[in-house]
Structure 1
Amino acid sequence: MATVNDDAPPTTSKSREMRDAALQTFTETRRDTLLGRTVTINRPRAELYAYWRDFARLPTFMDNVERVDVLSPTRSHWVVKAPGGRTVEWDALVTEEKEGEMIAWASTEDADVPNSGRIEFRDAGDRGTIVTATIVYDPPAGVVGRLIAKMFQREPAIQARRDLRRFKQLMETGEVATSSRTRAQMHEEAA
């Protein structure tokens, strides 16, 4: 009998055991929000892993990330856009890592937005690499904060999907597709 591989993020897997294990791994006793997103990218796993592991490069495709300062091989400082023109900041620690396969992280206790998660890279044969991001975060102000973030398109579930799509574009074509004119260009022309 052939073995069937489930390419879905563990949190959405058809396997009850896999879903339960993912939920137990990523959620804590707080009212955290868990999300998982997957994309297949037509590039070698080692190349994608190496690009992602250089955390200072993440703002090249993560729209809301203003910057990531690498403080050590396992610690980084993140500055991220939030609703209302604000920014939120936190330090993140790499909690587990398998070269070429997976990076797991958790924010430190003083984070503006407590979060943790993992990014996994699995071979997809001729199709390239399956990249799965699983993130747990505790939105500021709970449900109200999540609703406000959603209204401003700053909600992590929306951003994760868009960021993975931009990562795919960057890795497959060498650039992130944008509209013909950016907002900044339109404002310059209007002035």
Structure 2
Amino acid sequence: MADDAPLAATKNDKPTGLAARAVTINLPVDEVYSRFRDFAAWPSFMENVVRIDVLDERRSHWVVKAPMKGSVEWDARITEEVPGKSLAWESEPGAEVPNRGHVTFRDAGARGTVVVVTIDYDPPGGVIGKVIAKMFQREPAIQARRDLRRFKQLLETGEIATPAMNAKQFEEMGL
């Protein structure tokens, strides 16, 4: 029997790693939702996502960096969508990293939109795999926080702040 509880309260045995993060973005809900719904653009703000191939309106193919393996791949499908309100997905059977997630978008008035992301995943290698992923800063709980911060920066400023120098800065320094 399917467990219809929110991911944070589910009693399902698998997946086993739960990450929940929230951010407030100073833009209207509809704009934040439409930008988030553009899966092909996710690699621009998700550090470990190599690419997402949109297969159709509900399905996509993911390629993600993984410690010790180089990358992992899976197909995912949207399981629930309420435009401007929520989006849920789940990996297809046979995924290298079984996962599912849910995102809600809530109007925060003059502050913009509150985005809450919950991701549940089954780390390759179980607990040991999760520890290795944490050591390499590739664990989804860590990445969710960073990726949401980058998404916020991209939407609010049009760019992602980074400590790295860009080509123009190298040029100006004569390097």
Superposition TM-score, scaled by structure 1 size: 0.81
The aligned residue for residue 145 of structure 2 is 161
Q: Which shows bigger deviation, 85-94 or 65-74?
A: 85-94
Mapped partners of 1:142, 1:85: distance in 2? 15
1:49 is paired with a residue of what secondary structure? helix
Mapped partners of 1:177, 1:81: distance in 2? 21
2:147 is paired with a residue of what secondary structure? helix
Structure 2 matches for 1:17-36, cutoff 5 A? 21-23=5-7, 26=10, 28-30=12-14, 32-36=16-20
Tell me the amino acid that sits aligned with residue 67 of structure 1.
R
- For the aligned residue pairs, the C-alpha RMSD in angstroms reads 1.8
1:133 is paired with a residue of what secondary structure? strand
Q: Which shows bigger deviation, 50-59 or 173-182?
A: 173-182
Mapped partners of 2:159, 2:48: distance in 1? 17
The answer as to whether partners of 2:90 and 2:101 remain within 8 angstroms in 1 is: yes
The aligned residue for residue 155 of structure 2 is 171
1:72 is paired with a residue of what secondary structure? coil
The aligned residue for residue 44 of structure 2 is 60
The answer as to whether partners of 1:118 and 1:134 remain within 8 angstroms in 2 is: yes
The answer as to whether partners of 1:153 and 1:159 remain within 8 angstroms in 2 is: yes
Structure with a larger share of its residues in helix: 1
The answer as to whether partners of 2:77 and 2:90 remain within 8 angstroms in 1 is: yes
Work out which structure has the larger RCO, using CA pairs closer than 8 Å and 6 or more positions apart in sequence: 2
Mapped partners of 1:69, 1:131: distance in 2? 24
The aligned residue for residue 90 of structure 1 is 74
CA gap 1:89/1:48 in 2 versus in 1, 3 angstroms: same
Q: How many Å apart are 1:33 and its aligned residue?
A: 1.3
Q: How many Å apart are 1:101 and its aligned residue?
A: 1.0
Tell me the amino acid that sits aligned with residue 143 of structure 2.
Q
Superposition TM-score, scaled by structure 2 size: 0.88
Mapped partners of 2:48, 2:66: distance in 1? 8
The aligned residue for residue 109 of structure 1 is 93
The answer as to whether partners of 2:8 and 2:118 remain within 8 angstroms in 1 is: no
The aligned residue for residue 47 of structure 1 is 31
Mapped partners of 1:117, 1:54: distance in 2? 16
1:128 aligns with 2:112: yes
Q: Please list every run of 5 or more consecutive structure 1 residues that lacks an aligned counterpart in the other structure.
A: 1-20, 187-191
Instruction: Using the aligned pairs only, state the percent identity.
Output: 60
2:138 is paired with a residue of what secondary structure? coil
CA gap 1:155/1:104 in 2 versus in 1, 3 angstroms: same
The answer as to whether partners of 1:41 and 1:130 remain within 8 angstroms in 2 is: yes
CA gap 1:63/1:26 in 2 versus in 1, 3 angstroms: farther
Runs of 4+ in 1 over 6 A off after TM superposition: none
